[in-house]
Amino acid sequence: MSYGLRVYNNKGEEDLTLVDRITRLSYISLQTASAGNSGALPQISGKLTGIFSVPVNASINQSAHMISRSGTTLSWTTYSFSTKLRKWIYPATCVNFCFSYT
């Protein structure tokens, strides 16, 4: 790359160039164990994102929310296990967050 900004660290190694895809936090929400919901995030329009639903202080019999993106809307829900197995696993409180990257 022969133009734009380049940042070097103290070892002379290139730390950042204009073609690097780095991440920026765009959304965060702490969701209780039973909640399913969605949110509009206009700030992610046209951007690639990593979306996460991460259990918080979970037990071994708890599962993460299922999270998905459609356009600029993030949706999350608790997964419903089959009737006979449901008593063995419960949804966890999760932190749902999204980072965008170029």
Q: Which residue ranges make up the site for another protein (CB under 8 A)?
A: 4-5, 7-10, 15-16, 18-26, 28, 43, 47-48, 50-58, 60-61, 63-67, 79, 81-82, 84-85, 88-89, 92, 95, 97, 99-102
Q: What's the CA dihedral at 13, 15, 19, 25 to 10 degrees?
A: 160
Q: How far is CA 27 from the centre of its chain?
A: 8
CB of 36 to another protein, least distance (A): 13
CB of 27 to another protein, least distance (A): 10
Distance, in Å, from the CA atom of 59 to the CA atom of 51, rounded to the nearest integer, reads: 22
